[in-house]
Structure 1
Amino acid sequence: MSRRIVFINQATGYLTIDVINEFAGDYNEIALITGSIRVQDIPLHEKVKVDFIVKYNRGNTIKKSISWVIGTLQIYFLLITKYRRYEKFYFTIPPASYLLALHFRSPFVLLVYDLYPEALKSFGIEKRNLIYRWWAKRNRRVFPRATRIFTLSDKMKSQILEYSDRDNVTVIPNWTAFAGLPRIGKGENRLISTFNLQDKFIVQYSGNIGQTHKVETLVEIAEMLSSSDKILFLIIGRGERLKTITSLIDEKNLKNCMVLPFRKDEDLFDALCAADLAVVTLDDKTPDVSVPSKTYNILAAGIPIMSIAAEQSEISRMVEAHQIGKNFDKNDIEGMCRFIVELNDNPDYRDSLAARSIIASQSFTRSNAKKYRDIYLEQ
């Protein structure tokens, strides 16, 4: 019997590519609907037919929302005209795309990276809001019908099960694209040599700089530690608040801060390895609904982590469980300053955290991608 499946993800990166490639050998026809494909090392299988829609806009909330709405409409059109009878594998980008499953009879799977409507809280949309209630009602119809729902943590699973009386949810953590790569020492690091940072203790934030990422906290810490000529705060990224952060640094005349544009894929591991301490932030309005995927690449680079998130968050649990750093409340500026100074002054302590990061990364490899295929096909 001929089997056909279509994957739907507006922003396709290495995680999506790894999952799709695992399915390529089991289907006669395999397709992808996406706004962009970002290859880090392993390309998309040549068998996969690609339909492009509008690219996911990582700008401000309005631009992001517009790209989501347009993308969802384009996905609906393609599913109706080309992929009506295909099995469907929805990723939650754009967030509402999986709700389209109500319009089709074919089997479907969900991979929940961010749980909506809970994630809307970061935009000020609370439970009493009409949009929130409408979305929650749709979840109660969609989730029980799914052949399988995949998500990233036990806490996310428990939230998903609030919408369904079926235990059809499986937890599979994300993974790194850099498993097994040797850490790049400072003497061989291109970023460090380019900017002459050999003698610096580098506190690095790398990623999106949006409303929910609280990068201003790093600037506040940098201001408190401005008397140290060794500690450097390196902010690498893009997003709607990049100009705000740059202006804030200039306004405070902070010489211990450096802002760089987002690194190309071929330079990403080099940039990660430049750090002595990596910063991961999570909006405390939605502490349980997402784990930043960059966390796994940080582990593979052997970098200690300072997470800024609610105590009950999944990232806080991970940092504590693997003993790879410390988690802080966003208001504990003095505590974060002390932790940074302690790591700078105590290389042995820093090295022990780095070693445990490498060990932890071995639990998050590409073998996790195969689990999606194995679990789905055994249905």
Structure 2
Amino acid sequence: MTDVRFFNTYEPVSPFYRDLIPLLSARGLDAEVVLSSREYRAGRKPLEESLGSDRVGIRRIRAGRGVVLGRSQKLWAMLTYVIGAAGSSLFGPRARLNFFLTQPPLFSLWGLVLRWLRRQPYCCLVMDVYPDVAVRDGLLKAGGLATRFLTYVSRSVLRRADAVIVIGRCMRERMEQHGIASERLHLVPNWVNDAEVQPVEHERNALRKELGLEGKFVVLYSGNMGVSHFLDDILETARRLWELPDLVFVFIGDGPRRREVVGWQERFDLKNIRLLPFQPTERLAESLSLGDVHFLSLRAGFEGLVVPSKAYGALGAGRPILYQGESTGEIARMIEEERIGSVVPLNSPDSLTSVLRRYYDHPTLAANEGQRALELNRQKYGRQHAVSEYLRLIEKLLGKDVDQGN
């Protein structure tokens, strides 16, 4: 029997497994991670190499090899994962606690099945709220029969979970509106590994030198370019400010909206836009420190459904955040409460250009806000704070006493 079994199609973008599971092992707890054999993104060494321990088992559900490319490969990886993960957890060794992350969507229903059939408790970590995200994406019709049914299933599973973890206040408020008991809700923000991400000064940043960015003011977008992100105005701002020779917009990552960046760059022949792939873990500190300002965005209607984890990379690198989205979201609240950046409304390229020009003209503003961001990460949002909360919750669900000395 294993103590905790984790389910998610791929390894999360956050360092969730790599930071949490070694501490579970150190406390004498056995963990199993059930993953697809495919990867969501490149640039990280295999999880097996990071979690080398007799107390950790990694079960790969066969679906081919390499990074998933395109919708058909993602659907195949998801289908094979559902079948393989369900079968192994139903007929294989028992688990004292089943821990479901967000992918595949609504697979946490299997937790309810395992409770009925094998009397195993389960908890859910909600990083994206389904089926609501699919409705916003246009994949499901609002108010349609399928949407109503999936909504009923999702709410039923969450209401019956032994614990529900959310990553933002806006998400917690939405869960409470859906009837999730407040005593079962736990707010634990995402984080970055402080040992891997720390500020790298421009003059010591080898990646900056390799990319020819010495002496440049860099606006950095680092992470997934997904359907929930809004890039229209930052691209228009790049077009408007193209005449500033030392201002560069760097986009690092991939996703369905990357082609919009490529198209805009080619359409206006913009030399101030640079596109890079995801960077390897060993260069993450240099990568996140490229920017003088980090840009984040979220489309209207996605607040409370997702929380951009890119923000925590900016905190770890000690950089201010320029956020474009609704003011009710977690990241917007954090920025305004802690004075670590600026919040700009959607569909307002004039405001975005004005705010960005202010950072460009007054570099000490970015430096001061970045220093506050770094202190905030150390005091409130760092790895130790988040992982400690997970340890307390997991040990509580397992019926163990928390050893405060560890």
Instruction: Tell me if TM exceeds 0.5.
Output: yes
8 Å contact kept, 1:56–1:68: no
2:395 paired with 1:377: yes
Q: CA deviation at 1:328?
A: 1.4
Inter-CA distance 20–321: structure 2 relative to 1 (3 Å threshold): same
Inter-CA distance 180–8: structure 2 relative to 1 (3 Å threshold): closer
Q: Of residues 144, 147, 152 in structure 2, which corresponds to 1:132?
A: 147
SS of residue in 2 equivalent to 1:157:
helix
TM score, norm. by length of structure 1:
0.91
Q: Of residues 130, 139, 142 in structure 2, which corresponds to 1:116?
A: 130
Give the number of equivalent residue pairs.
378
Q: Give a deviation string over 1:223-268, Cα, whole Å, max 9, x none.
A: 0111211211111111233234213201211111111111111112
* Aligned residue type for 1:7: F
Distance, in Å, in 2 between the alignment partners of 1:113 and 1:56 is 24
5+ residue gaps, structure 2, are 398-406
**Match of residue 60 from structure 2:** 52
Q: How do 1:200-279 residues align onto structure 2 when only pairs under 5 Å count?
A: 200-279=216-295
8 Å contact kept, 2:196–2:284: no
Q: Give a deviation string over 1:160-209, Cα, whole Å, max 9, x none.
A: 23344533111111222136965211111122111221121101111112
TM score, norm. by length of structure 2:
0.85
Distance, in Å, in 2 between the alignment partners of 1:257 and 1:140 is 43
SS of residue in 2 equivalent to 1:116:
coil
**Match of residue 9 from structure 1:** 8
Distance, in Å, in 2 between the alignment partners of 1:56 and 1:215 is 28
8 Å contact kept, 1:5–1:27: no
**Dislocated runs of 4+, deviation >6 Å:** 55-58
* Aligned residue type for 1:44: L
Q: CA deviation at 1:89?
A: 0.7
Q: CA deviation at 1:30?
A: 2.1
5+ residue gaps, structure 1, are none
8 Å contact kept, 2:168–2:188: yes
Q: Give a deviation string over 1:50-106, Cα, whole Å, max 9, x none.
A: 111248966555654453343223221221222455420111122222111121121
2:103 paired with 1:93: yes
SS of residue in 2 equivalent to 1:97:
coil
**Match of residue 173 from structure 2:** 158
SS of residue in 2 equivalent to 1:158:
helix
Q: Of residues 347, 361, 367 in structure 2, which corresponds to 1:331?
A: 347
8 Å contact kept, 1:121–1:286: no
SS of residue in 2 equivalent to 1:238:
coil
Distance, in Å, in 1 between the alignment partners of 2:143 and 2:186 is 29
**Match of residue 350 from structure 1:** 366
* Aligned residue type for 2:19: D
Distance, in Å, in 1 between the alignment partners of 2:259 and 2:180 is 46
Q: CA deviation at 1:120?
A: 1.7
Distance, in Å, in 1 between the alignment partners of 2:303 and 2:220 is 22
Q: How do 1:128-207 residues align onto structure 2 when only pairs under 5 Å count?
A: 128-164=143-179, 166=181, 167-178=183-194, 182-207=198-223
* Aligned residue type for 2:154: N
8 Å contact kept, 2:170–2:328: no
SS of residue in 1 equivalent to 2:194:
coil
Distance, in Å, in 2 between the alignment partners of 1:87 and 1:376 is 8
8 Å contact kept, 1:202–1:231: yes
Q: CA deviation at 1:222?
A: 0.5
Inter-CA distance 301–377: structure 2 relative to 1 (3 Å threshold): same
